[in-house]
A and B are shown apart, each in its own frame.
Chain A
Amino acid sequence: MVMRKLFVPMLVITAAMFAYSPIAIANAPYESTMRLVQKIFYYHFPAWMALTVSVTVCTVASAVYLFKGNARADRIAAAAAEITVIFGLFGLVSGSLWGRKAWGVWWQWDARLTMAFLLELIFFGYILVRNYGGPGAEKLAAAMGIFGGATAPFVYKSVDWWRTVHPKTSVMTTLGETSPQMWYVVWFCTFTILLFMGLLLAARIRLEEQRATLDRLYLEAED
């Protein structure tokens, strides 16, 4: 209920922040080596943050559904899985554009790109099994959600040892000192995208909830 009341005001705020973000990004100072392409970072990094959040939501919700049989948790997990795929795709495309400039190739088997690619596969698998798994597919999908979340650290570690070309996470910590203005803009964009993700999630959950209500009404109408 609270979600529904807040939805429109939040939507307005997010839209305003989105509208302002290009201006903020344009006004941020140029980075010396990457020049214009560095601007991708202002959406690229937030997309990954959103992805991290949605993976976590999906994993936790899947576990709650599996052990408590809570249908609401299942709907949240389903919504989060789809959002993971969307932000994963966004991150992959923006990362690929970055890579074209930074490394001269569209795709580089770099640790984090690979990891993102694999996470994308896992959560695409979640959606596939949910849609084509037949009756009881929710449980199969929940297993995928739990194992997908649990496997992420291993994917990260293995891919990291396997190959690393990606700028280290330290970019974010040093950025605060070298260019406070860039740092602020990054966090502004991150906050915007996270809000956006929250809204998408809420809307998607609402859709699932209405589907569930429809199912229930059908069942009741039969009586």
Chain B
Amino acid sequence: MRFLRIAWLVLRKDVAIELRSYEILSTTLFFAVACVAIFSFAFVREGQAPVDAAAGILWIAIAFSGTLALGRTFERERYGETLKALLLAPAPRPAIYLGKLLGIVALLFATEVIVVPMVAFLFSAPFFSRPGLLVALLGLGTIGYAAVGTLFAAMLVRARTRDVMLPILLYPITIPVIIAGVRGTSALLASPVDEPVAMLWIGLLSFFDVVFVTLSLWTFEPLMTE
């Protein structure tokens, strides 16, 4: 109980800070939109984009803007070394990780609420034909990506090269999430909707999430002790 309470306190604190300025949310969102625009130019031919491209562009936008959100969120904890203050709390240290993870996930969900309809609109992609499956794919994919990202961003806080290191470490590890997200989402775009294939990827994502959240909770304490 104390574990969840601490996680909740950290999450609530992060939300309170964000709601004062909306800085991370607005920059992340803007960056995601810019990504969508840039990748559109690569794929759109004669005013039309291949149907599959929408899924890829969506997940690239999520992954790239996710890195930005991770970097900024932990920059806030680095300024004033408040991350150390959190680690000094008389609480299980993994609870701090969980709180930060929930904050990042909330931020990315907020971004997706805008970006997904936007991609659907720009590419006439029928994302919402199976809303349940879409939510499952986005939810599980975001959690998996953020689970690894939060751990790595937290441990990179003390590295001078953190800005370059985060994408270098994070992208190769989270490739399965991106593949699963993209393939699962394109299955939704097929007509008729390829439900079994989408379910297959949802299964892989759930498994990934369980393994990586567990692994992160388990390694957080030794990783954060200098």
Contacts and interface: CB of A to CB of B under 8 A. Distances in A.
B100 to A, nearest CB: 16
A212 B143 CA distance: 40
B212 A157 contact: no
B204 interface: yes
Given A139-B155, A139-B222, A134 B160 contact: yes
B183 A66 contact: no
B39 to A, nearest CB: 19
A155 B183 contact: no
Interface string B138-182: 000000000010011001101111000100110111011001100
Interface in A111-163: 118, 121-122, 125, 128-129, 132-134, 136-137, 139-140, 142-144, 146-148, 150-151, 154-155, 157-159, 161-162
B152 A143 contact: yes
B157 to A, nearest CB: 11
A67 interface: yes
B46 interface: no
Interface of B: 148, 151-152, 155-156, 158-161, 165, 168-169, 171-173, 175-176, 179-180, 183, 200-201, 204, 207-208, 211-212, 215, 219, 222-223, 226
Interface of A: 66-67, 118, 121-122, 125, 128-129, 132-134, 136-137, 139-140, 142-144, 146-148, 150-151, 154-155, 157-159, 161-162
Query: 6 smallest A-B Cβ distances: which pairs?
Result: A154-B176, A121-B172, A158-B176, A158-B179, A122-B172, A134-B160
